[in-house]
Structure 1
């Protein structure tokens, strides 16, 4: 059980040439065979124990940093949408993190890493898969070189929940809460692990040579394309598009909150990418931190410049999405793309996200936070960039992986959401949408000391303080 996963953990250690040389000098070979121990006492007395402690601790800390990203997602989504839906946004994000952990624990983890399977689908049984007959194998280098099975699970669970929480931003303001809950559960429990198993579980894309270091496609692309399927079926928010085809902006109510969220995501991304080294190897982790930071910074500056040149606006939300675009763009190749090329990857991602947001809006696909553009479109670019900037990888192979994962995810999401739409219905009533989901579904406003005044019947409320009499 988890044999393919163990091999895959070794394969994910591919790094830039300079990082490999430095890694050998400072840390030893990242793929050296680890001894197998018969008892925990024997392992703890071995010279490998200290290294294992450090590696395992770093991956746990990285998991905690990815956990913080969920606060970032909640803040970005809340800030960039109407105040009247803030409680609903918060509730969805709490739900998806909690259900994501549980669904991945009981179902998803064993689909994503089923052990021996045909390369397309496998299931290792319910639960995390700890073999009580041989606990040492799951708590020593015999499992994954640098982590215990528990560390591996919690790190991977944070990724699984991330894919689903991206969808939340796409559908905010008009989806029934219980529908989102059902959809999010199925995405984490079934769809995400299946496509994840094709690469990270040692499946057919892994054998083909497809490469996605930390999930530009496997995590972010999955969330973006699943969100796209949902918004096509769900429809736009009321008042977003005029009968004459005009686009009416529905402004976010709290850009400072969205800014806090973007910086929380940037911080967490160091764990997202840095933890994907799957060890505390100083050369590799520091290299990944640098490429991650450079791409994010380049993405923001590029989005600022492109927005000014082509739209003639200094749009703060575009700058924030530029940061996220740069982060998504570098995630597939953060360990193999040089710092110089990371700046190029981020710059192109920052430009892409501006045009993608505008293009998606012109298609009348209402994405309140730009999640499809940031995660879906820039996820494609980041994955292809590995083939463009790293000679070891093929653009064609990268494209095959993108098409396979995006295609499967879109069909799964579209099918599930269509089934929900034509059975129980997916959209709240127009009355509830106008009133705001905070009051309609939760019975409480996010800002009880303020009174909402609708500006045009459908747009975000303009807030004014309620004075004590």
Structure 2
């Protein structure tokens, strides 16, 4: 056998040998730490790429005259989230402090080797602090991105600056600290592995408040209260957006393991994928049964609702339970969208609260039903679910966490948005809304060729 073949054989043999045999070898420990760090950074990049998914999805399901604005605000939103989370949000979320809020680690400087001493809640993983911060920052950015869907096509640009800053700096970190930062819900054993409550319920709840305070888009409801469909301008964009979000979710959930070693992160990726697939099929069939048409938009939202739901439970449940959780989330989403559109008369253009709020609630509760004893023991958080003989204890903790989180985020978001409404206004004028945000806010169109005279009149403005 040639020398290079012997080399490959020896390398393969080395990879198959138990890591524990080299546990005392500093070089092996450093290598494991480095691989874990690379995995966390890669997962963070996948989550960051979800911003592209939000841009395509939201632009696709809204009208052409607002497409550039809606896609572009994802860049602005993530930029604001990154800066504010670095300055204050990360410290409030994960810094050592009280059971209610963190009080250390502001204006994070990861070049200081002692900085990790201020973040006991993140000491479960040995990856560098910079990787921890980046991963949590992109999570906060996703939560803020969710909010904008509920106020699409009618909000002033200034709202993104003011509410985005206060949401990432003061609202999001409170729930993050309660659940993930060593707060009071963490001490009770609340199970939210990757953020059905921390990320998605928060963003969805803020979107609901925003939609309620802004009111419906012009032409959405008739005088008799009946609802009109305002179709999006590009279904293909929406499909591509959901595929990107599905792709990015592997970083979202599997990345939350914070380790590449072993079999755990592939398991989380598997349950995530199973749930998403079940949500797509269940939502399409439910829509077909209820509305008599297999609507593509509902199928897309079914994927996202299922992904939101499995985000809390992906590490705690068996594969069969992941399928059930995803399917139920897809069904719930259809009825929730119809309820808010036709009964509650809340104009949520992308179904943000139904997809991220309602599905987030179900996903958080689902561990109280389906959390498997062996997985709970492995993770060391909370207790097994009701269907495994665990009683109602874990379900009660999950419900308490949901009620407290929803109440805080709803009240805080309402106060902030109401203050903005009174001080500078939330909504653009009727004329600006009719023209579209691309032109009225930015003086340019995402599709200039579709405008009169190829958009030449814009040059004279």
Partner of 2:276: 296
- Structure 1, unaligned stretches of length 5 or more? 1-24, 36-42, 454-462, 464-469
Query: What is the distance in 1 between the residues matched to 2:140 and 2:403?
Result: 20
Deviation at 1:451, TM superposition (A): 3.2
User: 2:65·2:435 contact (CA, 8 Å) conserved in 1?
Assistant: yes
User: 1:211·1:332 contact (CA, 8 Å) conserved in 2?
Assistant: yes
Partner of 2:437: 437
Aligned pair count?
416
Deviation at 1:256, TM superposition (A): 0.1
Partner of 2:54: 73
Partner of 1:387: 368
Partner of 1:40: none
Deviation at 1:306, TM superposition (A): 0.3
Query: What is the distance in 2 between the residues matched to 1:229 and 1:267?
Result: 29
Q: Does 1:344 align with 2:324?
A: yes
State how 1:319-358 maps to structure 2 within 5 Å: 319-358=299-338
User: 1:332·1:382 contact (CA, 8 Å) conserved in 2?
Assistant: yes
Q: Residue 148 of structure 1: which of 124, 128, 131 is its match?
A: 128
Query: What is the distance in 1 between the residues matched to 2:428 and 2:116?
Result: 51
Partner of 2:214: 234
Q: Describe the superposition over 1:90-147 as per-residue Cα deviations: whole angstroms up to 9, x where unpaired.
A: 22111111111111011100000121x22012321421254736479799xx955331
Q: 1:186 to 1:136 in 2, by over 3 A?
A: closer
Partner of 1:266: 246
Q: Describe the superposition over 1:64-105 as per-residue Cα deviations: whole angstroms up to 9, x where unpaired.
A: 000100100111000000110011112211111111111101
Q: 1:446 to 1:245 in 2, by over 3 A?
A: same
Partner of 2:399: 399
Query: What is the distance in 2 between the residues matched to 1:297 and 1:135?
Result: 41
User: 1:106·1:127 contact (CA, 8 Å) conserved in 2?
Assistant: yes
State how 1:17-96 maps to structure 2 within 5 Å: 45-96=26-77
User: 2:32·2:261 contact (CA, 8 Å) conserved in 1?
Assistant: no
Query: What is the distance in 1 between the residues matched to 2:189 and 2:226?
Result: 45
Q: Describe the superposition over 1:394-422 as per-residue Cα deviations: whole angstroms up to 9, x where unpaired.
A: 11110001111111011110000001111
Query: What is the distance in 2 between the residues matched to 1:348 and 1:452?
Result: 47
Query: What is the distance in 2 between the residues matched to 1:66 and 1:57?
Result: 14
Q: Residue 282 of structure 1: which of 247, 250, 262 is its match?
A: 262
Deviation at 1:282, TM superposition (A): 3.4
Q: Does 1:191 align with 2:171?
A: yes
Query: What is the distance in 1 between the residues matched to 2:219 and 2:345?
Result: 12
The worse-fitting range, judged by mean Cα deviation, of 177-186 and 122-131 is 122-131
Query: What is the distance in 2 between the residues matched to 1:183 and 1:57?
Result: 33
Deviation at 1:47, TM superposition (A): 2.9
Partner of 2:84: 103
User: 1:110·1:129 contact (CA, 8 Å) conserved in 2?
Assistant: no
User: 2:43·2:255 contact (CA, 8 Å) conserved in 1?
Assistant: yes
Query: What is the distance in 1 between the residues matched to 2:109 and 2:332?
Result: 41
Partner of 1:254: 234
Q: Residue 137 of structure 2: which of 157, 163, 166 is its match?
A: 157
Partner of 1:451: 451
Q: Describe the superposition over 1:29-62 as per-residue Cα deviations: whole angstroms up to 9, x where unpaired.
A: 9xxxx99xxxxxxx9x543001001111000000
Partner of 1:377: 358
Query: What is the distance in 2 between the residues matched to 1:187 and 1:374?
Result: 20
Query: What is the distance in 1 between the residues matched to 2:325 and 2:144?
Result: 25
In the superposition, the TM-score normalised over structure 2's length comes to 0.86
Q: Does 1:203 align with 2:203?
A: no
Q: Does 1:365 align with 2:355?
A: no
Q: 1:235 to 1:211 in 2, by over 3 A?
A: same
User: 1:119·1:204 contact (CA, 8 Å) conserved in 2?
Assistant: yes
Instruction: Using CA pairs under 8 Å that are at least 6 residues apart, name the structure with larger relative contact order, 1 or 2.
Output: 1
User: 1:171·1:367 contact (CA, 8 Å) conserved in 2?
Assistant: yes
1:123 aligns to what SS in structure 2? coil
Query: What is the distance in 2 between the residues matched to 1:291 and 1:169?
Result: 27
2:426 aligns to what SS in structure 1? coil
Query: What is the distance in 1 between the residues matched to 2:318 and 2:361?
Result: 19
User: 1:146·1:279 contact (CA, 8 Å) conserved in 2?
Assistant: no
2:427 aligns to what SS in structure 1? coil
User: 1:131·1:138 contact (CA, 8 Å) conserved in 2?
Assistant: no
User: 1:83·1:253 contact (CA, 8 Å) conserved in 2?
Assistant: yes
Query: What is the distance in 2 between the residues matched to 1:244 and 1:253?
Result: 27
In the superposition, the TM-score normalised over structure 1's length comes to 0.85
Deviation at 1:168, TM superposition (A): 1.1
2:313 aligns to what SS in structure 1? coil
